Structure 1
């Protein structure tokens, strides 16, 4: 037996002897006479002078009552563990129920040192968003699933149970309390250094928007405003879609990207892409943002795409009542400076065959 193991065994037995467990109970459990147990307790007999069988029985009893030194050492270190076995100095772990909440709170997965918004030219790519993240002392963010951890919150199931078991290894807080925190909150954050939990409310829904990149720009696709394909399932719609309702999501996105990711919220232009410009409008293209987008809001570093079709075949699309309602909801109706299309002048009888764009004055917007 190594010196370290011998010391732990000795300390474990002493922990048992110094506990409130009665001599009678120790004697009954270990089959050691009460006289011998009392002598060991009052130290008139040294532990290292007792038989190996007695020492082994006392040590096993200390384990049963969680008085062994190995267990107590781990308990003492809970809440003060500067790192977990991931070869990283972790500060926090944060887990959300809704897929977009960590993004909305400013925690975006970084898979490499390159910008998460960079990608191949002319290729629309999905941006991977994490629902569970490890945050290191130096501020790096890593997806928990990249290390084999599948965590979740706000219900009692496999994902939340995984998180409870993981956190119970490091926290002094009782497991049942951890389970309650994990099972009843939308966003849970645990601080390894301070052994504290913080909880936050959800601020997004799964269907609010999807994230893509295109030509080094972030694309926010408001999938909930697809009024073309929703017509096929109108019986299931909870409410009638209105273009002006998208303004609320637009403002939220502007705030998130400006406040958390330092992306300016100045709206440079709005483009309307007529139905005829789309390659294919079959049902097989329901989930294709490039084919389903009609309204594009363009900013310096990102774009917001809205799959809302305005059923107008002729004239200036920006004079349309639905488009005007969007301008009003965004409070930009007075910031318009010029319109542009393939033709310099749009007459009321002209078909909407080309992309129409309206630009905004930077000083006014």
Structure 2
């Protein structure tokens, strides 16, 4: 007999014989005589010398009642996994309900299907983010779908219950404890090293932004600020809250991704001046704002785009009251060049049909 199988069988039968089940109960359940069970329990008969049929009957009883050696050993391991083997040493699993929450919490990982197609040069790419990742002991991030796992949270359904069942294999926490956290929270983190599970609130609900990439540069498009005439009947959109939204995003990128939040320049791009990149023609039609991209904030490692149209046809767009409030909200003071009366008058009649650029300088750079 295989040595491992031999151990499993003998140890499992011993577990049954040493259990609190009465001899009568075992005899009736296993179809083994009470005399045989008594002799096995007292040591009068050696376990190895009993018939294979009796041994298998007792072993199957052990399996049905979770007393077989393999099950007990697996239970003893629960809560003691510092990592789990999936051809890599996984130390954490992180799952979110909202598409953008892992990004907000510092995990930017493309979905498994996207990862198969690298970014193409001079091509605007839509980033589809993963909502369930394994994190290894050395900090590497892998999409759970890559290993055949579909996890979710914040509701009682297939995805969240897949996560519950998966964690039950490794955790001392019972099903109720795992379900309570997984079903009730927008973001769930399980740590194999400490055998702990934690739930967190959503930071970005819905789809207020779209993450894009152009030549490996991250671009964040603020969808909620599209104010085209087609959307005006739905809601009133202004730039008033844009600076606080932008500050949240730049803080996230600075703190979690170590990207500089210093603004290099701000561009105003009239629709008729938009090139192929800013017109978003490379994106699916349903993802293109009707205004295109009219305000671009350029940082060292990323850009923030707003599909917001400022309704001014002539003059200096950066002197526009709405634009000025927006700049002030970003901590930027616009100081236009001093011009004489005639030049000011001429400029005020100049149509806004070209890209306007506002370089941004900081005191420590002057």
What is residue 258 of structure 2 aligned with on the other side?
A: 262
Task: Indicate conservation of the 8 Å contact 2:132/2:144, yes or no.
Answer: yes
Task: Indicate conservation of the 8 Å contact 2:102/2:131, yes or no.
Answer: yes
What is residue 202 of structure 1 aligned with on the other side?
A: 202
SS of the residue 2:189 aligns to: strand
- 1:32-181 aligned at under 5 Å gives the runs 32-109=32-109, 119-181=119-181
In 2, Cα distance between equivalents of 1:19 and 1:64: 14
Determine whether 1:193 maps to 2:193.
yes
Q: CA deviation at 1:154?
A: 0.4
SS of the residue 2:240 aligns to: helix
Q: Deviations over 1:133-182 (max 9, x none)?
A: 11111110011112221111101112112211211111121123212221
Determine whether 1:217 maps to 2:217.
yes
What is residue 295 of structure 2 aligned with on the other side?
A: 295
Task: Indicate conservation of the 8 Å contact 2:24/2:34, yes or no.
Answer: yes
Question: Among 232, 239, 245, which residue is 1:249 paired with?
Answer: 245
**Structure 1 residues 127 and 286, CA, compared in 2 at 3 Å: closer, same or farther?**
closer
In 1, Cα distance between equivalents of 2:216 and 2:149: 30
In 2, Cα distance between equivalents of 1:291 and 1:308: 7
Q: CA deviation at 1:58?
A: 0.9
**Structure 1 residues 235 and 352, CA, compared in 2 at 3 Å: closer, same or farther?**
closer
In 2, Cα distance between equivalents of 1:267 and 1:290: 26
Question: Among 263, 267, 272, which residue is 1:271 paired with?
Answer: 267
Gaps of 5+ in 2: 113-117, 338-342
**Structure 1 residues 223 and 110, CA, compared in 2 at 3 Å: closer, same or farther?**
closer
What is residue 355 of structure 2 aligned with on the other side?
A: 355
Task: Indicate conservation of the 8 Å contact 1:97/1:186, yes or no.
Answer: yes
**Structure 1 residues 145 and 337, CA, compared in 2 at 3 Å: closer, same or farther?**
farther
In 2, Cα distance between equivalents of 1:107 and 1:152: 16
Q: CA deviation at 1:185?
A: 1.0
SS of the residue 2:287 aligns to: coil
Q: CA deviation at 1:35?
A: 3.0
Aligned residues: 350
TM-score w.r.t. structure 1 length? 0.88
What is residue 115 of structure 2 aligned with on the other side?
A: none
What is residue 115 of structure 1 aligned with on the other side?
A: none
Task: Indicate conservation of the 8 Å contact 1:285/1:291, yes or no.
Answer: no
Q: Deviations over 1:185-233 (max 9, x none)?
A: 11111112222112222111231211112234211100111111xx324
- 1:13-28 aligned at under 5 Å gives the runs 13-28=13-28
SS of the residue 1:220 aligns to: strand
- 1:316-355 aligned at under 5 Å gives the runs 316-333=316-333, 336-337=334-335, 347-355=347-355
SS of the residue 1:72 aligns to: helix
Q: Deviations over 1:332-359 (max 9, x none)?
A: 23xx3557xxxx9771121111111222
Gaps of 5+ in 1: 113-117
TM-score w.r.t. structure 2 length? 0.88
Which runs of at least 4 in structure 1 moved beyond 6 Å after TM superposition?
Answer: 279-282
In 2, Cα distance between equivalents of 1:143 and 1:256: 21
Task: Indicate conservation of the 8 Å contact 2:291/2:308, yes or no.
Answer: no
Please provide the CA RMSD for this pair.
Answer: 2.7
